[in-house]
Structure 1
Amino acid sequence: MPAKHTTVDGFRAALEPDDRARFEGMRALLLELEPRLTETIKWNAPSFDLDGRDRLTFNVMNRQRELQLLLHLGASRAETRGGAPIVDDPAGLVRWLSDIRGVLGVPDAAALAERRRDYADLITRWIAVP
């Protein structure tokens, strides 16, 4: 991946084919679930906000070198590391880093289709956090 992305298309083009397919599947789901999401480049990756509040950011620059979707509430809201997540995750999809920040591995198309309801439920509830 290049050091700096300025567009979503640039980010997408830099992905390996498998990651690109995963990105496109998850991105389509996000925009389907909440068409009012605004997509921009923040933190060198596509990031989504709702009504000016950060909600989700893609990440490939991690130790695992995997495509991830970060669930977060931006940098201005205080977080409690080790605190209970503010959104229930009964399907166990998220690795929670704090009460307001978690990491969701982006699945391939087959896994996303198989567990679509779980992903959609979690993401819908996350986006709705005040």
Structure 2
Amino acid sequence: MADDVDAWMAKYENPQKPLVEAVRQVVLKADKRMTETIKWQAPTFVYKGNLASFYPKSKAHVSLMFHTGAQIPGDFPSLQGTGDVSRVMKFLDAADLKLKAAELGRLVRAWCDLRDRG
């Protein structure tokens, strides 16, 4: 985990903070190639480019925006959006994260594999 993200999390005040931290752990544990930093004033996951950033102002759920989610190969039914570029995955609560954790892990590994290929 990155010190800058730890510092950001320490100051982050939002009712969804525990869920943001739980999602963060799932992403970081999914693939050892994944790292994190602060970009756009939010925790951002990176490996040979930006994978996803949290939308930190959301209070009703945790929203993770995949910058080029439409281009990640594989079937990820929890990704929302229809545009040519980005996708969003939302987590309503800990139970919802538990249901989506395996899919999120597959998505992270697919991103890392894609970045290694090209």
TM-score, with normalisation over the residues of structure 2? 0.73
CA distance in 1, matches of 2:18, 2:112: 23
Q: Which has the larger radius of gyration?
A: 1
Contact 1:68 1:106 (C-alpha < 8 Å) held by counterparts: yes
Can you give the 5+ residue segments of structure 1 that lack an aligned partner in the other structure? 1-6, 74-84
1:111 equivalent in structure 2: 96
Contact 2:34 2:45 (C-alpha < 8 Å) held by counterparts: yes
User: What secondary structure is seen at the aligned counterpart in 1 of 2:29?
Assistant: helix
TM-score, with normalisation over the residues of structure 1? 0.67
2:40 equivalent in structure 1: 43
1:43 alignment partner AA: W
Is the alpha carbon distance of 1:61 and 1:106 closer, same or farther for their aligned partners in structure 2, counting shifts above 3 Å?
same
**Equivalent runs, 1:49-128 vs 2, <5 Å:** 49-51=46-48, 53-61=49-57, 66-73=61-68, 85-87=70-72, 90=75, 92-96=77-81, 98-128=83-113
CA distance in 1, matches of 2:37, 2:31: 15
Per-residue CA deviations over 1:6-54 (Å, capped at 9, x if unaligned) read x32343232324x111111111111111222221110000111113x11
1:105 alignment partner AA: K
Contact 1:87 1:125 (C-alpha < 8 Å) held by counterparts: yes
Is the alpha carbon distance of 1:127 and 1:104 closer, same or farther for their aligned partners in structure 2, counting shifts above 3 Å?
farther
Q: Whose helix proportion is higher, 1 or 2? A: 2
The answer on 1:9 being equivalent to 2:11 is: no
Higher relative CO (CA 8 A, sep ≥ 6), structure 1 or 2?
2
